[in-house]
Structure 1
Amino acid sequence: MPAPIRVLLIQARRLPEIERQEQRCFLECGRLHPTQLRCVNVTRDMLRIELLDHIDAVLIGGSGEFSAVEQYPWTEALQHLLRAAADRKLPMFGSCWGHQMLAVTFGGQVVRDPAHAEFGVGEVHLTRAGHQDPVFGHLPSRFYVSMGHRDRVVTLPPGGIELARNTQPFQAFRLKDRPVYGTQFHSELNASRLRKRLQAYHNLYLDVLGAEGLRCAMQTETTPTVDNLIYHFLQTYATPC
């Protein structure tokens, strides 16, 4: 019987309740036991390369307070860790801010674009490459997802393959010949947890959306189509032989 997979979750959270919520979300969507998840928070933990030892996959969460456009004291160390994970051929999956950090780390471009911010539930559709992808290929052509971002990827890294889009490109991508994936949307969030996330960061989002826009974003619905996306990713790339 193969050993259980071991996953490193990289977080960028200052709010303890959202940090814990995010951990629960990834545990559930990855169908993981708590003993299978090692968590590191860039705001307080040393980002040592040794964190990758005995790890089968890396997940990168979102961030309500930080931006892939900005530089922080820990940005260089985080990018060094992500490149080291790629050198070890570890599967990586980034959600929202994690998606943007992967794009920037491997040579893409992210911009702050509040005019095209997406909050609440939105529709995306697969590209031709998405239909053929081993992780995304099980999804329907069009599906609804949970969103919460004001930054976005405008240029993919070299070798980047677009898997999903809507009126904005690069809602999901992967790197060619590497098990490195990113989604601008939050496949790990259900409706109630997205509402809690929006409430927790409402002061930040109010500047972007206004009171009425934030109220509409809070009236979100569930997005079950992508509930198993991270589980499929782990099963495809991280299951020990």
Structure 2
Amino acid sequence: MPKPFLILQLRPEREAADDEFAAILAKGGLREADTIRVRLDTEPLPEGLRLADTAGVIVGGGPGCVSDPPGAKSPAEALIEATCLGLMPEILERDHPFLGCCYGIGILAHALGGEVSKARYGEAVGTSACRLTEEGTSDPLLAGLPAEWEAFVGHKEAVQALPRGAVHLVASDACPVQMMRAGRHVYATQFHPEADAAGFETRIRIYKDRGYFPPETAEDLIAMCRAARVEVPERILARFVERYG
């Protein structure tokens, strides 16, 4: 029987978490039975779980920020961060398949000793014009994709410089490190590979008062997302699942 993917979710809002999980299944070509879903804000990792028994780990996005000082983190955010970071040494040592989405790139960069902060490169909710780097054009998850494409983004913090030992795969003018890889199988994206316009509309409505954008601009942002052509990022998620499933 194929090994399941471990899906770690960080969103405390049930509607947002459920919508994200459904998007990961749909865009990844997965059935719920192909996964172990853990909402880290409400439940611990399953007792006795071994990474070796999973096909890979997919970390979703969330409202927390790795770079926030400890006192600014809620107990749930602190627990989520500690759990994710606690897995990274084994993931990196084993070179275990990992795809961190948005929040996940901060986790990976932090684990590699890189700088994650709000100093530069935050992006407002919307789309970002991404492009493959030279290394990206030959990466198994990206080879053959268009050289440039749009992706859905929305984040306050970002990787400030490529961590030592990481491979730079995707860039944008607004946020230079949009995707990177450690080892051969550990990936992270700043953009959302699972997101589509409907999913971002849900998140815009849920997070409109969380400081990502002026609340009065929510309807304009929704209209912009509906008009956007975002097609390539979901192919990256599908390739990850196909490669390691």
> TM-score, length-normalised on structure 1?
0.88
Any idea what SS the aligned residue of 1:157 has? coil
Separation of aligned partners in 1, 2:194 and 2:106: 16
Contact 2:126 2:154 in 1 (8 A): yes
Identity %: 25
Could you tell me whether the CA contact under 8 Å between 1:125 and 1:165 is conserved in 2?
yes
| Runs of 4+ off more than 3 Å | 47-50, 113-116, 211-216
Structure 2 match to 1:46: 44
**Residue from 221, 239, 244 that aligns with 1:232:** 239
Shift of 1:227: 2.0
**Equivalent of 1:217 in 216, 221, 224:** 221
In 1, the alpha carbon distance for the partners of 2:54 and 2:231 equals 28
Shift in Å at residue 73 of structure 1? 3.8
Q: How many Å apart are 1:123 and its aligned residue?
A: 0.9
**Residues matched between the structures, number:** 232
CA distances 1:83-137 after superposition (whole Å, capped 9, x unpaired): 2233333200011011211111222111124874231122111111111111112
The corresponding residue for 1:148 is 154
Distance 1:216 1:165 in 2: 26
What is the Cα-based RMSD across aligned positions, in Å?
A: 2.0
- Taking the aligned partners of 1:170 and 1:34, their CA distance within structure 2 comes to 31
Kindly tell me: are residues 213 and 128 of structure 1, through their superposed partners in 2, closer, same or farther at Cα, counting changes over 3 Å? farther
Which residue, 93, 96, 115 being the options, matches 1:109? 115
Q: Which residue of 1 aligns with 2:196?
A: 190
The structure-2 alpha-carbon separation of the partners of 1:98 and 1:115, relative to structure 1 and needing over 3 Å to count, comes to closer
Structure-to-structure mapping, 1:157-168, within 5 angstroms: 157-167=163-173, 168=175
Q: Does the C-alpha gap of structure 1 residues 15 and 82 become closer, same or farther in structure 2, counting only changes over 3 Å?
A: same
Q: Bigger shift: 33-42 or 65-74?
A: 65-74
Q: Look up the match of 1:29.
A: 27
Q: List runs of 5+ in structure 2 lacking aligned partners.
A: 71-77
Contact map agreement 2:193 2:233 (CA 8 A) in 1: yes
Query: Is the alpha carbon distance of 1:181 and 1:39 closer, same or farther for their aligned partners in structure 2, counting shifts above 3 Å?
Result: same
Provide the rounded CA distance (Å) in 2 between the counterparts of 1:41 and 1:123. 31
Moved more, 6-15 or 225-234: 225-234
Q: 1:67 aligns with which of 35, 45, 65?
A: 65
Report if aligned partners of 1:9, 1:37 keep a CA contact under 8 Å in 2: yes
Alignment correspondent of 1:56:
55
In the alignment, structure 1 residue 91 sits paired with structure 2 residue 97? yes
Against the structure 1 CA distance between its residues 210 and 126, is the aligned structure 2 distance closer, same or farther, given a 3 Å change threshold? same
The Cα of 1:22 is off from its aligned counterpart by 1.1
**Residues 49 and 57 (structure 1), Cα distance of their counterparts in 2 relative to 1, 3 Å cut:** farther
For 2:167 and 2:121, how far apart are their aligned partners in 1?
A: 25
Cα deviations by residue, 1:178-231 (Å, 9 ceiling, x for unpaired)? 3011111011011111111111100013xx432465444222124112222111
Tell me the distance in 2 between the aligned counterparts of 1:48 and 1:158: 32
Aligned-partner residue type, residue 56 of structure 2: A
- Decide whether the 8 Å contact of 2:166 with 2:181 is kept in 1: yes
Matches of 1:134 and 1:122, distance apart in 2: 22
- Mapped to 2, the partners of 1:24 and 1:17 lie a distance apart of 11
Change (3 A) 1:49 1:222: farther
Q: What is the distance in 2 between the residues matched to 1:12 and 1:76?
A: 12
* Superposed displacement of residue 146, structure 1: 0.7
Alpha-carbon distance change, 156 to 42 in structure 1, aligned in 2, over 3 angstroms: farther
Q: Which runs of 5+ in 1 are unaligned?
A: none
- State TM-score, norm by structure 2: 0.86
The structure 2 residue matched to 1:137, chosen from 129, 136, 143, is: 143
